[in-house]
């Protein structure tokens, strides 16, 4: 019976449209999850999951690991890992790995990214994705697609981000189409302590728009408080916090669905600053 519960819940989520097919971009870490995933304007390591163009603004070698338990249901777990290697001359290379599911149904995604500044405050990023779906006793399917993003710092206070996932309309197997998503958003920083972000998401097929709004407040340098709202067919609210200790950052978030309940998540990120060159 325990094995049947996650399978049944997965079927309900798929049929109701609350859980998308393999490849749908995940939360941009627990930071993104706490802000309703209004994350297309991020330019930290979490942008590896939401808009690869943000990786071009990294100075440090960065790593992050993220996990969530969707609606507190056994078996509906997501695990993400990302790494970014910036280079002043040639740009930033990134790796993103996603795993969702349980032993009787699971999905995998491996993405190789490249991001580069085209101007001081403007960048572009691309990612090549390999996707796999495995159902024991039934078989497996795989696919390849791409992601493309841009990020522009329009001023000291306003950032614009745009990202498209699967513009080439790839499918898993012969018939199951992957979502083809377009995200565009703005972030506004009225001060160094506050960031407001908002974005619109649209599957270019027949799904309605999804609106996302997030707020981040940093009362002190080491602490961030966050909240967010997702406006869709089933609205969701989220909140969380982040703690910075030198190069280590720990982020916690939880979102609440009015029917299915809570989804807790946790991220741990670490940055390695480049060695300073000795002056002659």
Q: What are phi and psi of 272, to 5 degrees?
A: -115, 110
Which pLDDT band, with edges at 50, 70 and 90, does 4 fall under? Answer: very low
Which pLDDT band, with edges at 50, 70 and 90, does 14 fall under? Answer: very low
Mean pLDDT check: name the lowest of 5-9, 25-29, 61-65, 241-245. 5-9
pTM of the model as a whole = 0.88
Cα 164 to the center of its chain, rounded Å? 13
pLDDT of residue 2: 46
Of 219, 227, 217, 162, the closest CA to residue 195 belongs to: 217
Structure tokens at 229: 């709202």
Which pLDDT band, with edges at 50, 70 and 90, does 263 fall under? Answer: very high
* 278 pLDDT more than 70: no
Sorted by sequence, the CB contacts under 8 Å of residue 219 that are 6+ apart come out as 193, 225
* 159 pLDDT more than 90: yes
pLDDT of residue 276: 58
Q: How big is the chain, counted in residues? A: 280
pLDDT of residue 178: 85
Q: For the residues 53-82, what does the mean pLDDT come to?
A: 93
Domains and CATH numbers, the chain: 4-272 (2.40.160.60)
Q: Encode pLDDT of 20-38 as tens digits.
A: 455 576 899 999 999 999 9
Q: For the residues 206-235, what does the mean pLDDT come to?
A: 91
Cα 134 to Cα 96: distance, rounded to the nearest angstrom: 19
Instruction: Give the residue, 158 or 258, on which the prediction is more confident.
Output: 158
């Amino acid at each position: 019976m325990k094995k049947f519960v996650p399978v049944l819940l997965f079927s309900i989520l798929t049929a109701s449209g609350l859980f998308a097919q393999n490849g749908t971009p995940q939360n941009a870490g627990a930071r993104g999850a706490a802000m309703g995933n209004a994350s297309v304007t991020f330019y930290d390591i979490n942008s590896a999951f939401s808009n690869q163009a943000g990786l071009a603004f990294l100075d440090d070698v960065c790593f992050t690991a993220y996990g969530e338990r969707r609606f507190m249901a056994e078996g509906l777990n997501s695990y993400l890992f990302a790494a970014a290697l910036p280079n002043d001359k040639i740009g930033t290379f990134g790796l993103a790995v996603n795993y969702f599911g349980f032993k009787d149904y699971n999905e995998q995604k491996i993405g190789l990214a490249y991001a580069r500044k085209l101007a001081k405050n403007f960048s572009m990023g691309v990612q090549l994705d390999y996707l796999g779906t495995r159902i024991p006793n039934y078989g497996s399917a795989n696919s390849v697609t791409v992601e493309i993003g841009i990020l522009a710092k329009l001023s000291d206070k306003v950032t614009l981000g745009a990202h498209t996932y699967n513009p080439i309309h790839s499918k898993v197997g012969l018939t199951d189409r992957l979502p083809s998503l377009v995200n565009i958003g703005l972030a506004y920083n009225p001060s160094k302590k506050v960031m407001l972000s908002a974005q619109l998401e649209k599957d270019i097929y027949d799904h309605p728009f999804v609106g996302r709004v997030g707020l981040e407040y940093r009362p002190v340098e080491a602490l961030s408080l966050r909240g967010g709202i997702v406006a869709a067919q089933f609205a969701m609210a989220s909140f969380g916090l982040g703690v910075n200790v030198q190069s280590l950052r720990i982020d916690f978030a939880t979102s609440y669905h009015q029917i299915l309940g809570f989804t807790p998540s946790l991220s741990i990120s670490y940055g390695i600053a480049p060695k300073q060159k000795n002056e002659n």
